[in-house]
Amino acid sequence: MRKFWLLLTATLSLSPALAQSAAAPSRPEVRNPAPGELRGLWVDAFGPGLRTPQEIDRLVADARAMGVNVLFAQVGRRGDCYCNNAAMPRTEDPAVPAGFDPLQDLITKAHAQGIQVHAWIITTAIWNRLEAPKDPAHVFNTHGPSAQGSDNWLMVRHDGATRGGADYYLDPGHPQAAAYIREMYLSVVRNYDVDGIQFDRVRYPDQNEPAGQASWGYNPVALERYRAETGASGIPAPNDERWKAWRRQQVTHLVRSVYLEAKALKPNLWVSAATITYGEGPATLRDFRTKTRTYNEVLQDWESWTRLGYLDLNVMMNYKRDFVPAQASWFDQWNAFGRLARGPRYVVSGAAIYLNDQASSVNQARKAQEAGLDGWAGYSYRTPDADVNAQKRTYLEVLPELAGKLTGPGAPFAQTASWGQPSRGLHAIRGRVTAQRGPLGGRSVELWTGGRLFARTQTDGEGRYGFVIFPLGEVELRTEGAAPLRLTPALGRVNDAPELSIP
């Protein structure tokens, strides 16, 4: 049996106001067996794969030949959608025929072959060109550089920059920006029979200045929220630990909110994230928090997301070259840590097939199996090995070769495998805190059970909170200044709590 990780001592010691869990005894938790073995393939929208009916026919046939049972399909590229019915405007990609709905076509064809479709959306990056989008309703046009005051949702760097590399980003510390991001995902869940949704780039950007410090997140609205919720004054330095913890928490709030809202719509939906694994892997949970760029520079605390149940599936972007000894070691280290940190959820090793020769990719798929993970995924369909990435060969030449090496006698995928739905037992609460005065965000909400404090969380900028993993039976919800609420959440769904109202 695995321990149910309720406590994260280092988080509590860092900032009690940002703690995720309360000091309560841990209890044994049996991890539900995985519903098969995930064999995934990322299909990005920057080349062939999703743009036409013919490309999708070929994609599905290739996926089946490779033994793939899950397609992570990039339907959200930069504030747009390779679909016709979402909160984001339809893509401007000229390769997509007028009126054609790539996502719907992919779902129909993939499901006919027993292959799942998980809608992959870039979370915060919304535009990457100097010329504006053609659609006036695109979020870059309505809430980008030309918007004034609180209508401007863009991420700002400490030095005033609003563009990281080629990209403009939305700031998750701005409540309206976070709400828009949430709706990007939920609109796809409502309108399409997807098997899952996947966060990508659900974090703060790279391109930090000063280098090595978390220098993004200085949107004026986010800064004002931080000061109001914490009592801080002035403009914090990028490496200010309290400021880093607050920003890290905004990303976690966003993941939690999307998870709860999406699972309320479709309890059997997979919610996953493509997570960062820069450099060598940590050996312990403490190392993750103290030594990784993941936690300290891009402020992505994916360890807490799996422990607290805010994801069903963690797909680590474990992008390492197998033929480089140091990187091969890092690949193994992150696999080991992913297994250590998965809690009651599932973890997959995502491999960079575009950086590797075919033999190396096959070896990494085998190593993911040997590490005891729940599967493997390759990035990406249009660049299936290093030769294609270097433009020495085409993906059409390489894909049949890679399929044969993955599925042939003695190969990692020689035996077929299925991937089912998330394990049964969804048991969650979502609610809101309202207040006549003071900020809605940053308020502590406690969950008590059996007369003991079991868990503590915080509200986001809209006053939303939630709990995903807790015992069956009656619970009590408390926040300072409001009357406690008692309820008995039902198993199998997301339960709505009445408002915690503070006069």
Please write the tens of the pLDDT for every residue from 376-385: 999 999 999 9
Question: What value does the mean pLDDT take over residues 216-237?
Answer: 98
**Helix, strand, coil percentages, rounded to 5, for the chain:** 30, 20, 45
Question: What value does the mean pLDDT take over residues 215-227?
Answer: 98
Question: What value does the mean pLDDT take over residues 307-333?
Answer: 97
pLDDT of residue 4: 31
pLDDT of residue 375: 98
Q: How confident is the model at residue 121 (pLDDT cuts 50, 70, 90)?
A: very high
Prior bond of 53 cis (ω within 30°)? no
pTM for this entry: 0.94
pLDDT of residue 61: 98
Question: What value does the mean pLDDT take over residues 318-346?
Answer: 97
pLDDT of residue 5: 32
Q: Which residue has the tokens 């840590």?
A: 337
Closest CA to 52 of 90, 97, 111: 97
pLDDT of residue 295: 98
Here the tokens at position 54 are: 């013919």
- Per-residue pLDDT tens over the stretch 209-219: 999 999 999 99
pLDDT of residue 32: 79
Q: How confident is the model at residue 259 (pLDDT cuts 50, 70, 90)?
A: very high
Question: What value does the mean pLDDT take over residues 82-95?
Answer: 97
pLDDT of residue 33: 85
Question: What value does the mean pLDDT take over residues 101-122?
Answer: 98
- Per-residue pLDDT tens over the stretch 272-319: 999 999 999 999 999 999 999 999 999 999 999 999 999 999 999 999
Dihedral (C-alpha) 390, 318, 468, 153: value to the nearest 10 degrees?
Answer: -50
pLDDT of residue 25: 29
Tell me the chain's radius of gyration from C-alpha atoms: 22
Do the bridges between strand 196-200 and strand 168-169 make them parallel or antiparallel, or are there none, so unpaired? Answer: unpaired
pLDDT of residue 30: 53
Please give the share of the chain, as a percent, with pLDDT higher than 70. Answer: 94
pLDDT of residue 31: 67
Q: How confident is the model at residue 321 (pLDDT cuts 50, 70, 90)?
A: very high
Do the bridges between strand 500-502 and strand 475-478 make them parallel or antiparallel, or are there none, so unpaired? Answer: unpaired
Question: What value does the mean pLDDT take over residues 207-234?
Answer: 97
pLDDT of residue 451: 94
Closest CA to 81 of 162, 177, 192: 192
Q: How confident is the model at residue 10 (pLDDT cuts 50, 70, 90)?
A: very low
* CA 284 from centre of chain: 22
pLDDT of residue 423: 78
SS3 41: strand
Distances (CA, A) of 356 to 199, 286, 387: 24, 31, 8
Average pLDDT, whole number, for the chain? 93
pLDDT of residue 425: 80
The set of residues, in sequence order, having a beta carbon less than 8 Å from that of 412 and lying 6+ positions away, is: 362, 365, 366, 369, 376, 406
Domains plus CATH for the chain?
1-30+425-503 (2.60.40.10), 33-407 (3.20.20.80)
Question: What value does the mean pLDDT take over residues 162-181?
Answer: 97
pLDDT of residue 21: 43
- Per-residue pLDDT tens over the stretch 441-488: 999 999 999 999 999 999 999 999 999 999 999 999 999 999 999 999
